[in-house]
Amino acid sequence: MTPGTYFLETFGCQMNVLDSQLVEGQLRACGLRPAESPTSADVILFNTCSVRQHAEDKVLSRLGRLAALKRRRPDAIIGVIGCMAERQRESLFVQVPHLDLICGPGELHCLPALLDQVRQRREPVAALAGTQSRRIDRLARSLLEDEIEALDAARDSAASDGVLQAYVRVQRGCDKFCTYCVVPFTRGPERSRPPQAIVAEARRLVDRGCREITLLGQTVNSYLHQDGGQPVGFARLLERVAAIDGLDRLRFVTSFPADWDEDIFRVMRDQPCICPYLHIPAQSGSDRILKAMKRGYTVAEYLKLMDLARKYIPDIALAGDFIVGFCGETDEDFQATLDLVRRVEYKSLFVFKYSPRPGTTADHSRPDDVPSEVKVRRNNELLAVQGAISLRHKQALVSKTVQVLVEGRSKAARRGGPRHARQLVGRTPHDLIAVFDGDQSHVGALVNVQVTAATALTLTGRIASIISPSRSNRLGVVSLPVHEAG
C-alpha cells in the first residue's frame, strides 16, 4: 500500500471504539500516519453505528460534505466501515456516489487489502459478511469460527505502550433479536472468542502498563467457549482475567438480564480487581412492553436480579439503558418505567428515544405510534428522575475518600480555562467521574481523592494520597473516551 495519511471518525458504542483502535493499528502498520482533519487526509474513514436513524444521518451529512473534496482530490479514498456499511450495503454507493469503499464490522481485518484494491482498480469495493448461519448451536459456531480472531489477534502490542485502559472483545455479534434492534443483522451471529486468546491479549496489555481492562460483548455474560474440552462460561472467564498479575481494575459491558448466572456475582465479590459496577439494561419497566420487545424477562425477574446483585455486592453501582416511546408505550407503561428507575436507584442511565430500524420485527409489525414530542418529554422526565438520584448519591460522598485512576487533564483544563489549568480527571471503581488538581506525574496513578463537592455528573475533590504511582514512563498516557450517561 502507498503510505500517506488517514482520518478516522468513530460513531456509536464501545465496540466501535475498539474496532477503530484495531483498524488504526492496521493502518499504522501499513505506514499511514494520522491526519488532523479529513481535508488533509489521503484515506478518510467513518466507523459507523446503525442503532438509531440519527447516528446514520450524521454520517450521511459528513459524507455529503466530502463531495467537493473528492472533486478537488479524486485520489483521496473515502470509506464507510462498521454497522452502517453492513446494513445499507451497496445501496450506499448509490446514495453517496463519491464513496470508494464499504466494509462491514466482521471484515475489518481485510481493510488494508481493500484500500490497495481501490488504488489499483479505481473502482468502489465492498467487503460484507452477508447472512451468516445461525443454524448450528452457539458453542459449535464459536469453535468453527475462530478465524474471526484475525482483527483482535493482530492487535499491535507496541501501540499499546502507555495505554492506561483498554477494551478487550470477548464476543462478537448477538442472537437475541430484541424486536427493535438492528445489531443482530449488522454484527451477525453470537460467537465467543477462545478464552486463551482473551487472557493472552489482556496479559500483553497489562505487561505494557495497562491498569484497567473492560471486557466487551453485546451480551457479555452469555459468553461460552471451551478449553481442553471443558465448557468455559463468563464466570470462569472473568476469574481467569482477574487473576492476571498487575491488573488493577476489571469491568465488563453489556450484561443481558435473562442470561445471568449467579456464579458471576460470586466471582465479582471474591476478586478484588473486579469493579463493583454492572451495566445491565432493563429497556422498560412495563411487562407488556418488555414482551413486545422480546427481552425474555419480566420486571419482577429483573428486580429480583438487582436485589441479588446488592446481596452479593452491597455497594454495587448499577447502570441501565431504557428506550422511551417504543411502539404502543402508554403513559401507564412509562410510569412503570419511572417506578422501576426509582426502585433500582441506578448510578447512571442511558436513555434513548425509540427509532424504528428497517428489517427489525418491530418495524414491520408495529406502528411507531408515540409522537416525537411525547418521546422527547418522556426522555427528559426520565433523565430528570435519574438526575435527582445521581445527585443524591454523589452528595452522600462529600467529605468521604474515593479511589481514582487518574486518566489525564480534564475537559476544562484542555479548553484552557486559567481556573482549571491543573485540573485532572479520573474514575472511581464505581465508574463515577472525579475532577481534582494535580500535575502530569499523577496521570496514570491510582490515588485517594477526598470529595469536597458533587453535581449529578461529577465529583470534585483533592488528592489525599497516592495509592500507587503511574507505571508509564511516557508523557501522555492514553485513556478511553469518557462515556457518561445521565
Beta carbon nearer to ligand SAM, 6 or 167: 167
Beta carbon nearer to ligand SAM, 125 or 323: 323
Cell numbers at 181, concatenated: 434492534
Q: Binding of ligand SF4 at residue 312 (CB under 6 A)?
A: no
Measuring CA to CA, which residue among 385, 396, 387, 281 is closest to residue 343? 385
Measuring CA to CA, which residue among 185, 190, 191 is closest to residue 88? 185
Q: Binding of ligand SF4 at residue 256 (CB under 6 A)?
A: yes
Q: Exactly one of 357, 393, 430, 442 binds ligand SAM (CB under 6 A); which one?
A: 357
Beta carbon nearer to ligand SF4, 27 or 178: 178
Work out what residue 184 binds among ligand SF4, ligand SAM, none; the CB cut-off runs from 5 to 8 Å by kind: ligand SF4
DSSP tag of 47: E
- Region binding ligand SF4 by CB under 6 A among candidate stretches 10-18, 30-38, 172-180, 434-442: 172-180
DSSP notation for 125-160: EEE---PPP-SS-HHHHHHHTGGGGHHHHT--GGGG
Distance, in Å, from the CA atom of 178 to the CA atom of 472, rounded to the nearest integer, reads 43
Beta carbon nearer to ligand SAM, 142 or 355: 355
Q: How far is CA 275 from CA 185, 215, 337, in A?
A: 32, 12, 27
User: Least Å distance between CB 171 and ligand SF4?
Assistant: 11
Q: Binding of ligand SAM at residue 181 (CB under 6 A)?
A: yes
Work out what residue 13 binds among ligand SF4, ligand SAM, none; the CB cut-off runs from 5 to 8 Å by kind: ligand SAM
Q: How far is CA 14 from CA 1, 181, 438, in A?
A: 29, 17, 28
> Do the Cβ atoms of 290 and 301 come closer than 8 Å?
no
Q: Binding of ligand SF4 at residue 181 (CB under 6 A)?
A: yes
Is it true that the peptide bond before 254 is cis, omega within 30 degrees of 0?
yes
Q: Binding of ligand SAM at residue 183 (CB under 6 A)?
A: yes
Q: Binding of ligand SAM at residue 51 (CB under 6 A)?
A: yes
> Contacts with ligand SF4 in 213-232 (CB under 6 A)?
218-219
> Do the Cβ atoms of 6 and 44 come closer than 8 Å?
yes
DSSP tag of 469: -
Q: Binding of ligand SAM at residue 13 (CB under 6 A)?
A: yes
Q: Binding of ligand SAM at residue 167 (CB under 6 A)?
A: no
Q: Binding of ligand SAM at residue 281 (CB under 6 A)?
A: yes
Determine how many CB atoms are found less than 10 A away from the CB of residue 417: 12
DSSP tag of 454: E
Beta carbon nearer to ligand SF4, 132 or 401: 132
Q: Binding of ligand SF4 at residue 87 (CB under 6 A)?
A: no
> Do the Cβ atoms of 180 and 293 come closer than 8 Å?
yes
Task: Give contact residues for ligand SAM (rule: CB under 6 A).
Answer: 13, 51-52, 180-181, 183, 218-219, 254, 256, 281, 283, 321, 323, 352, 354-355, 357
Task: Give contact residues for ligand SF4 (rule: CB under 6 A).
Answer: 174, 176-178, 181, 183-184, 218-219, 256
